[in-house]
A and B are shown apart, each in its own frame.
Chain A
Amino acid sequence: MTMTRSKGSVTDRVQGEPIALDGAKAVAQAMRQMNPDVVAAYPITPQTEIVQTFSEYVANGEVDTEFVAVESEHAAMSACIGAAAAGGRVQTATTSAGMAFMWEVLYVASSLRLPIIMAVANRALSAPLNIHCDHSDAMGARDAGWLQVYAEDVQEAYDNAFQALRIAEHPDVMLPVMHCQDGFIISHGVERLELLPDGAVKEFIGTYTPRYSLLDTEHPATFGPVDLQDHYFEHKRQQVDGMEKALAVVEEIGQEYGDLTGRYYGHLSPYRLEDAEIAIVVMGSTAGTTKIAVDKMRERGIKAGLLKLRTFRPFPADAVAEALAGVSAVAVLDRAIAFGSQGNPIFLDVCTSLYASGARPDVVNYVYGLGGRDTTASQITTVYADLLNIAETGQRGPLVRYLGLRE
């Protein structure tokens, strides 16, 4: 794939505009600034605000986007696939049941190597019906070949949107990216953030010209052929290659974005982890809550730290293992259940990373916040207390625990 960019890396830092917005509106703003050629989307709580805010931009002529208000999420992703194969920039947004309904075509999007961008306001899956936050939706699509990046707050949700596009379109990657924010907690939580000037966004995202397009009728290409025993396996391996190369690209783009805004991004954000003896690994808004708990523990002289995970796919295994190498006990917090598994999605990846690296801290897994259950800083201090106990006694206790659950 080739990509043309109007200019090289941006060296001058831009002055952001401070504003108060919720995560959904911030991401809609980012979409307006990126001005995709096609957006196909369907409303679902708590993502609806993204789609309806973007619809206003369309109605007011603030974007050039062809907005396709489809009849289902499956149709949203299907239209995105057709549109992306036709050679332009394509975005959508969803959550929960909507993502579950798209599941089949999520695989088609990634396997056709279409750099579609999807904003996700993470929400629980039915049954029973629950509209509030957990990560079950995206974890259900864990192996669908999409990159997944997560935000801690509104600013990160906004910043991730632009980086997602650059990562997806990178010629070494050419894979779709979902940038996730916790439903309601971030999507409907109003916070201060800095918006980029429109011109800076335009320059950061450049222009995009794919190597193949359905609309290049002079050079007809076949997209999505039947691929049998003799080639399918090699094509899957190529997807793995794109995912592996994305590890470096995420950091490269995060660095470039930092040079532009002063806000640098990578796979991980450690907090007071350098000298930590016990640590929590967590993803999403609860990382903010955990920082409060870390500070409380530190006030008591306990060497607690946090490893915030931003990239879930590709999983930055080496970086995670390195960051946790000096810790004696780790708790991995998962906002989703992998039923029937020995632990839950993030935990499994963390354990695999540590095992492969040779590091052997005690690792336990906490399921928290399902269906939007509030997770407080004081609950998290109990996790640190548990870790402290494990570190001191060497008794690990139960592998999988539940935080904030009545039982």
Chain B
Amino acid sequence: MAINLRQMCNERDQLAPGHRLCPGCAEPVVVRQILHAIEDPVVVANATGCLEVSTSIFPYTSWRVPWIHSAFENASTTAAGAESMYRSLVRQGKMADNGTKFLAFGGDGATYDIGFQFLSGVWERGHKVLYVCLNNEAYMNTGIQRSSATPLGAWTTTSPVGRVRPGKRENRKNMTAIAVAHEIPYVAQASPHLWRDLMNKVQRALAADGPSFINVLAPCPRGWRSEPGESISISKLAADTCVWPLYEVIDGVWKLNYKPRNKRPVTDWMKSQGRFSHLLKPENEELVTQIQERVDKEWEALVTKCEAN
């Protein structure tokens, strides 16, 4: 299916308007883009989190596709259970093979932390499920606590900026690389500002013969202390500073999807969000240098991997 903006505008959104997500939240933008990219019937499993609590308040639902929430950590396995039932019923001739696709959404806490083992199990067993991490780099639903996706130096309520500590002291986990290490057929990083890139990735992920993972940056104005109107431009800034590179790994082959013409300094990224404001003070200069060095090193390693192909 070719992705066509005009056609998309005429199609009904599968995530209905009227949900309770915050103004400026990137999550509904990402979810709508993803569901527009899928033509086949789709079943969605959703981890506990902002998306779940804001779209399914009984007796209302924003979901125009079959949707299930079970718990925080197990969206991947819940989707895998439904996918197993689908395979069983189709194999037994109890239902027709209608090409149903299985999708799971989880935030970074659900993905990097509490649901990590579940996701690893789903990947190892080869369930044909596309798992999308809506990555806003902290536990936003509970009120901005650090996760293992929270970047070094960021303020959160459990990595506060105090007299002796300048925000989060640890680097974030490289979850996308961990997905690649599972040798699943499709892994990608994406951002909502490059919607066509994201939608293409969804289509490639669902065409893959096995599990797939897309880690999507999802700016959170509330937790990032950023302007609600700037979520999309901030996600572009993440790509331009190489803080959140856009790439995909198809059957182990690395491909860069976006290379900024002028790579911008991480301070440009930091300036856009209040969660980093303390880093711009003179006493944290060394930490900013350290962060820049790490971004540079990771970017160079990524480019090398992609150019090797």
Contacts and interface: CB of A to CB of B under 8 A. Distances in A.
B81 A223 contact: no
Listed residue (B41, B64, B81, B100) with the most chain A CB atoms within 10 angstroms of its CB: B81
B125 A69 contact: yes
B120 A88 contact: no
A86 B81 contact: yes
Interface in A106-129: 108, 112
Nearest to A216: B66
Interface residues of A, number: 44
B3 interface: no
A12 interface: no
B43 A225 contact: no
Interface in B27-60: 41-43, 45, 52-53, 56-59
Given A78-B78, A79-B80, A225-B57, A220 B66 contact: yes
A69 B85 CA distance: 14
Interface stretch (B89-97, B163-171, B224-232, B270-278): B89-97
Given A38-B84, A226-B56, A108 B67 contact: no
Contacts of A105: 70-71, 74
Interface string B80-113: 1111111111011011001010000000000000
A309 to B, nearest CB: 32
B79 interface: yes
Contacts of B195: none
B65 interface: yes
Contact of B65 (A66, A78, A220): A220
A220 B80 contact: no
B299 interface: no
A224 interface: yes
A40 interface: yes
A83 interface: yes
A86 B77 contact: no
A37 B81 contact: no
A155 B53 CA distance: 47
A222 B67 contact: yes
Listed residue (A64, A213, A220) with the most chain B CB atoms within 10 angstroms of its CB: A220
A228 B77 contact: no
Contacts of B70: 78, 81-82, 105, 108, 112, 224
Nearest to A88: B85
Interface residues of B, number: 47
Contacts of B145: none
Contact of A85 (B68, B71, B125): B68
Contacts, number: 163
A10 interface: no
A392 interface: no
Contacts of A222: 56, 61, 63, 66-68
A75 B118 contact: yes
A64 B91 contact: yes
A221 B73 CA distance: 22
Contacts of A225: 56-58, 61, 69
A275 interface: no
Contacts of B45: 82
A104 B88 contact: no
Given A66-B88, A78-B71, A220-B63, A228 B57 contact: yes
Contacts of B74: 74-75, 78, 81, 105
Contact of B69 (A217, A224, A228): A224
Contacts of A72: 117-118, 121
A104 B77 CA distance: 14
B66 A214 contact: yes
A224 B79 CA distance: 13
A256 B91 CA distance: 32
A68 interface: yes
A68 B125 contact: yes
Interface in A214-258: 214-217, 220-228, 231
Given A79-B81, A82-B81, A224 B68 contact: yes
A102 B56 CA distance: 24
A223 B73 CA distance: 16
Interface in A55-95: 64-66, 68-72, 74-75, 78-88, 90
B162 to A, nearest CB: 34
A108 B78 CA distance: 11
Contacts of B43: 86, 214-215, 217
B61 A66 contact: no
B209 interface: no
Listed residue (B65, B66, B67, B98) with the most chain A CB atoms within 10 angstroms of its CB: B66
B251 interface: no
Contacts of B73: 74
Given A75-B74, A85-B68, A108-B71, A215 B86 contact: yes
A78 B98 CA distance: 25
Given A215-B82, A231-B58, A223 B87 contact: no
A73 to B, nearest CB: 11
A349 to B, nearest CB: 29
A82 B85 contact: yes
B67 A220 contact: yes
Contacts of A64: 88, 91-92
Contacts of B285: none
A215 B120 CA distance: 24
A213 B95 CA distance: 12
B59 to A, nearest CB: 7
Nearest to A209: B94
Interface string A287-322: 000000000000000000000000000000000000
A355 B217 CA distance: 60
Given A79-B80, A82-B70, 11 more contacts: A64-B88, A70-B77, A78-B71, A82-B79, A82-B80, A88-B85, A88-B94, A104-B71, A220-B67, A225-B58, A228-B57
Closest 6 A/B residue pairs (Cβ): A82-B81, A217-B41, A71-B121, A86-B85, A78-B74, A225-B56
14 contacts: A70-B77, A70-B121, A78-B70, A78-B77, A79-B78, A82-B45, A82-B82, A82-B84, A85-B68, A213-B66, A222-B56, A224-B56, A225-B61, A226-B69
Interface of B: 41-43, 45, 52-53, 56-59, 61, 63-71, 73-74, 77-89, 91-92, 94-95, 98, 100, 117-118, 120-121, 124-125
